[in-house]
Amino acid sequence: MSVIVRFAPSPTGYLHIGGARTALFNWLFARSKGGKFLLRIEDTDRARSTEDAIEKIFDGLRWLGLDWDDEPVFQFARAARHAEVAHRLLAEGKAYHCWSTPEELEAMRAKARAEGRQPRYDGTWRDKDPALAPEGVKPVVRLKAAQTGETTVQDMVQGEVTVPNAQLDDMVLLRGDGTPTYMLSVVVDDADMGITHVIRGDDHLTNTFRQVQLYRAMGVEPPVFGHIPLIHGPDGAKLSKRHGALGVEAYREMGMLPEAMRNYLMRLGWSHGDDDVISTAQAVEWFDMGHVGRSPSRFDMQKLTSLNAHWLRECADEDLITKIEAYLEEAGIALDQVGVQRLTAGMAGLKARCRTLVELAEAAAFYVEARPIRIATDAAKLLDPAARERLAGVAAALASVEEWDEATLEAACRAHAGEAGIGFGKIAQPLRVALTGSTVSPGLFEVMAVLGKDEVLARLDDAAASRNPEKSARK
């Protein structure tokens, strides 16, 4: 039997980090088994489901590189099919109409609470004659669930979990207005889509026992379940926005790479020995549900950032240039051909120092910026009149350099410092500021080599003549 799994988000908000991990585990499971990864949009909550949220889910999955098979299934559109199954169960005597009013149900709950029992429907209409139905009450349809015995689930993560059937009441399948409940829709969809394995958050574990009873009533073998522990914040509390439980697009905006996100998310719950850095291709080979832990994992922004730094260095230079283009544009810097050439030459030096695409774009901006380049306020202080004079001297010395490579440039600068009787340090920092607008940058001679002679001389001239505007520090 080939594996078919699904990711079934409710489109009531963005694709958050927990959902992204659930999607990733399903995707890895499918790809490692040569199976299918399907997408089902659970849009039955009409008041809260939005087109925008659906788009964000598609975008988020695409950005993460989690490609799904077949067309996505929209749950709401299948409501008639869900109701049809409930009517079949009614006809087969496996479900029944229940006319209990909201007041009666509340009284049942209150009684159960008073007796220290779990509030549940007491089965009043299970065997009662429908002829006794009250006027003016629209009945719901309930599953005639087993009242004795146990329901056991062999969970791929939680192991064997058993619940006495006496604890499960007869759940509602169709509401009074004939619309299907969530529990009915999920089971019918999973059955119709041929889902073989359901991998989802362990907040759904309690639903599973009722769902299994429904599968049995429908005469369908239940899928294999795997309930993965939720993600917690660094303080151990359930992950919330306060901890960084943001939509995946927020991580994209922070400059994270999809391969780093995948690496980080797969390690939130799943492990392969002590390996931390795992490529997606490797994970597809190694992934197994047996190594998903039972305790909640903690979200750690620093870990994500350091994995991102790793994958950033692994990324091809030309890809990084494409990726930072949008961030540069946002900063008002357009990338032209000369810019691309300089970034290609300078990327190795830049990417070694950065952890995110945002940092990379900021570090790279000086290569691309039009003259006169902006100078950070703290760096501008170094360009005092004495420093500007020294820069004019260096510029004159550099004008006669013909072999424009790092070694020759360094020799020329050192020779000039010696002749002028000033320490090389007194030249290096103002030079860096004039050429990069900052006190931190890749190696000075590397920068000079990448910028080329004309640009270096022009930038030194700008600095000597105080033409550079100031740039306020980044927030």
Q: Does 359 bind ligand GLU (CB under 6 A)?
A: no
Which range, of 6-14, 102-110, 173-181, 275-283, touches ligand GLU by CB under 6 A?
6-14
Q: Nearer to ligand GLU by C-beta: 204 or 303?
A: 204
Q: Does 120 bind ligand GLU (CB under 6 A)?
A: no
Q: Does 169 bind ligand GLU (CB under 6 A)?
A: no
| Smallest distance, ligand GLU to C-beta of residue 186, A | 5
Q: Nearer to ligand GLU by C-beta: 186 or 335?
A: 186
Q: Which of 138, 238, 241, 381 is catalytic?
A: 241
Q: Does 266 bind ligand GLU (CB under 6 A)?
A: no
Q: How distant, in Å, are the alpha carbons of 270, 327, 331, 410 from that of 343?
A: 37, 14, 16, 21
| Smallest distance, ligand GLU to C-beta of residue 42, A | 4
Q: Nearer to ligand GLU by C-beta: 42 or 325?
A: 42
Single out the residue of 7, 24, 15 nearest to residue 264, CA to CA.
24
Distance (Å, rounded) from C-alpha 288 to C-alpha 72?
25
Q: Nearer to ligand GLU by C-beta: 10 or 165?
A: 10
| Smallest distance, ligand GLU to C-beta of residue 309, A | 32
| Smallest distance, ligand GLU to C-beta of residue 235, A | 24
| Smallest distance, ligand GLU to C-beta of residue 222, A | 12
Q: Nearer to ligand GLU by C-beta: 9 or 346?
A: 9
| Smallest distance, ligand GLU to C-beta of residue 200, A | 4
Q: Nearer to ligand GLU by C-beta: 8 or 283?
A: 8
Let me know: does 370 contact 328? Beta carbons within 8 Å: no
Q: Nearer to ligand GLU by C-beta: 18 or 430?
A: 18
HEC string for the chain: CCCEEEECCCCCCCCEHHHHHHHHHHHHHHHHHCCEEEEEECCCCCCCCCHHHHHHHHHHHHHHCCCCCCCCEECHHHHHHHHHHHHHHHHCCCEEEECCCHHHHHHHHHHHHHCCCCCCCCCCCCCCCHHHCCCCCCCEEEECCCCCCEEEEEECCCEEEEEEHHHCCCCEEECCCCCECHHHHHHHHHHHCCCCEEEEEHHHHHHHHHHHHHHHHHCCCCCEEEEECCEECCCCCECCHHHCCCEHHHHHHCCCCHHHHHHHHHHCCECCCCCCCCCHHHHHHHCCHHHECCCCEECCHHHHHHHHHHHHHHCCHHHHHHHHHHHHHHCCCCCCHHHHHHHHHHHHHHHCCCCCHHHHHHHHHHHHCCCCCCEEHHHHCCCCHHHHHHHHHHHHHHHCCCCCCHHHHHHHHHHHHHHHCCCHHHHHHHHHHHHHCCCCCCCHHHHHHHHCHHHHHHHHHHHHCCCCCEECCCC
Among 144, 200, 232, 262, binds ligand GLU (CB under 6 A): 200
Which range, of 3-11, 138-146, 166-174, 306-314, touches ligand GLU by CB under 6 A?
3-11
Count of positions on this chain that bind ligand GLU (CB under 6 A): 7
Q: Does 42 bind ligand GLU (CB under 6 A)?
A: yes
Q: Nearer to ligand GLU by C-beta: 109 or 204?
A: 204
Q: Does 376 bind ligand GLU (CB under 6 A)?
A: no
| Smallest distance, ligand GLU to C-beta of residue 257, A | 26
Q: Does 10 bind ligand GLU (CB under 6 A)?
A: yes
Q: Does 9 bind ligand GLU (CB under 6 A)?
A: yes
Q: Respond yes or no: is residue 471 known to be catalytic.
A: no
Q: Does 204 bind ligand GLU (CB under 6 A)?
A: yes
Among 4, 8, 89, 451, binds ligand GLU (CB under 6 A): 8
Q: Which of residues 81-110 bind ligand GLU (CB under 6 A)?
A: none
Q: Does 155 bind ligand GLU (CB under 6 A)?
A: no
Q: Does 181 bind ligand GLU (CB under 6 A)?
A: no
Q: Does 43 bind ligand GLU (CB under 6 A)?
A: no
Active centre residues (catalytic): 241
* Chain contacts with ligand GLU (rule: CB under 6 A): 8-10, 42, 186, 200, 204
